[in-house]
Structure 1
């Protein structure tokens, strides 16, 4: 697989998001053995960037990834996230990036992942009560101590990114970016390139919608967070089916699957971008990794650039309030 640079961190240009193996999606946590096979197969296929977070579960996804990487830790770039659990009393769901909380969080992640270092450690969401300079200062100390190798941000706004990078070089920003979520294009991507920061798009398949496999919300169980996502509900869902159909039409023309086309479109956006499609199944992983071989023409990219815009926000109201600070 081709590789890209996230600042000075070398990764295969398609990674693996592990969240759905344990959390948030229909069937999560139902087959850890298949999830571990999926991680092993990813490594065999050349995937290097494996992504998790302490909030996924909480905690159980990091534990799963740690078990999967036993004996193969040195084959991957291991990324996890902190800041959506307060370890000082408030618990999961409370944003806390205070230096004290960072210290507690990293020790927990290291233990659950059964590793002596985290290759890429992200602030999961910006904490409005802690100056970003204080958070990055604490992370910089962890870099010096060797507990983490690189610092990342997730869903941070341009002002925060610039301030953070002034304290310590930021290696990567992880934010949602896909054919139907184009928010980073006007301001964020240009800033990342100005500062030399890599970009890791999550939900590159629109939480599965862009694959064309989701035709009814009845496919979700009650634990699936998409059931409350504005793009998956009511009239928005019906309107957005047209986008999936447009991608499918182009995929037929390309000779690839819709998922592969959606990922290939992201890969065509630069050599500093490494999407992390998530899956808990080997077959889907193999399909996603196949996007590495898909070459889109300029005409096909233009068609994809001009897809029908999505109806509805890409997160619910509470989640949207945590983005872009």
Structure 2
């Protein structure tokens, strides 16, 4: 029996998802070594049966192994009960990295993801990062064909600039834009989010707990392993960390007064941003998933919201939100179609 997590309409093309999703990256690495497959399948089944039906993955995660894991988990679920999102476009993060938006690559990635996931269609297919070499219209043209062929239902963009969003949307309606959004990172509120709302595009915040900092605070750093990419996050180093710890403590005090955890307060703030917002916090632990679901019941007053936004203003947390090499792939512009 599916749980009572509320549903939201994502974008204006008919897609509906659970207001709270599940980011699956950490199950296959990224934040440490991969977790036991059997445990992760149980977690996914528990999430879906609890009403968290929006599952987010990518061909990059693993790479490839996370999609295989999700595919195995889907075998024990009714396909129509899950909104499956995956991504393509990042060929490599080694060295300077490599992004590709060529039509042939788009199609090859989609076919490969369908095979690994062992499904007939992908609900939401994202351009993980936009290729600065290829006009966005070219990449979108191939995605539009995949929609027409029934291989994907809806198209999304991740970490895209306002102008790229507009150009892509003109080729085929964009259903969702995935971006980093939390009390930890609010930079997209200036241009990207207003653009999405003007065009009727849903917003899917990843990292709604600030890469875990808004859950654990500075002690997060003590548990990072050599496999955890967060060790390279500028906000978790040196003087930046000392400054950011003070902000965490102020948010933590508000949570204590409310009788909830800091992570629940931070997630509730994101959930409170609108009915077009569906965050996808990742976890590999049942207790964290339950805690996240409980955040749906945390009410934030106008006064509390104002206080939180005062503490965590757009430039409050010090340091880049992502390592420079990864940040370089965000909000890039593509050449005009005529060039």
TM surpasses 0.5: yes
> For residues 244 and 280 of structure 2, what CA distance do their matches in structure 1 show?
22
Q: What's the C-alpha RMSD, in Å, of the aligned pairs?
A: 1.6
Aligned-pair CA distance for 1:58: 0.5
Q: 2:181 aligns with which of 174, 177, 181?
A: 177
Structure 1 position 114 matched with structure 2 position 128: no
Structure 1 position 19 matched with structure 2 position 25: yes
TM-score, length-scaled by structure 1: 0.95
Q: Is the CA contact (8 Å cut-off) linking 2:24 and 2:282 kept in structure 1? A: yes
> For residues 91 and 175 of structure 2, what CA distance do their matches in structure 1 show?
23
Q: 2:322 aligns with which of 315, 321, 325?
A: 315
Aligned-pair CA distance for 1:220: 0.8
Query: Which moved further from structure 2: 159-168 or 301-310?
Result: 301-310
Residue matched to 2:106: 102
Aligned-pair CA distance for 1:214: 4.4
Residue matched to 2:223: 219
User: How is 1:1-325 mapped onto 2 (pairs within 5 angstroms)?
Assistant: 1-7=5-11, 8-26=14-32, 28-72=33-77, 73-85=79-91, 93-212=97-216, 214-215=218-219, 217-308=221-312, 309-325=316-332
**Change in CA separation of 1:214 and 1:288 when aligned onto 2, cut-off 3 Å:** farther
Structure 1: tracts of 5 or more residues without a match: none
**Change in CA separation of 1:258 and 1:96 when aligned onto 2, cut-off 3 Å:** same
Q: Is the CA contact (8 Å cut-off) linking 1:34 and 1:282 kept in structure 2? A: no
Aligned-pair CA distance for 1:213: 5.1
Q: Is the CA contact (8 Å cut-off) linking 2:202 and 2:276 kept in structure 1? A: yes
Aligned residue pair count = 321
Q: Is the CA contact (8 Å cut-off) linking 2:247 and 2:317 kept in structure 1? A: yes
> For residues 276 and 92 of structure 1, what CA distance do their matches in structure 2 show?
27
> For residues 56 and 297 of structure 1, what CA distance do their matches in structure 2 show?
37
TM-score, length-scaled by structure 2: 0.92
Q: Is the CA contact (8 Å cut-off) linking 2:29 and 2:35 kept in structure 1? A: no
Aligned-pair CA distance for 1:218: 2.9
Q: Is the CA contact (8 Å cut-off) linking 2:218 and 2:241 kept in structure 1? A: no
Query: Which moved further from structure 2: 46-55 or 1-10?
Result: 1-10
Q: Any idea what the Cα deviations from partners look like across 1:159-207, whole Å, max 9, x if unmatched?
A: 0000000000000000000001001101111111110000000000001
> For residues 61 and 106 of structure 2, what CA distance do their matches in structure 1 show?
17
Structure 2: tracts of 5 or more residues without a match: 333-339
> For residues 319 and 218 of structure 2, what CA distance do their matches in structure 1 show?
17
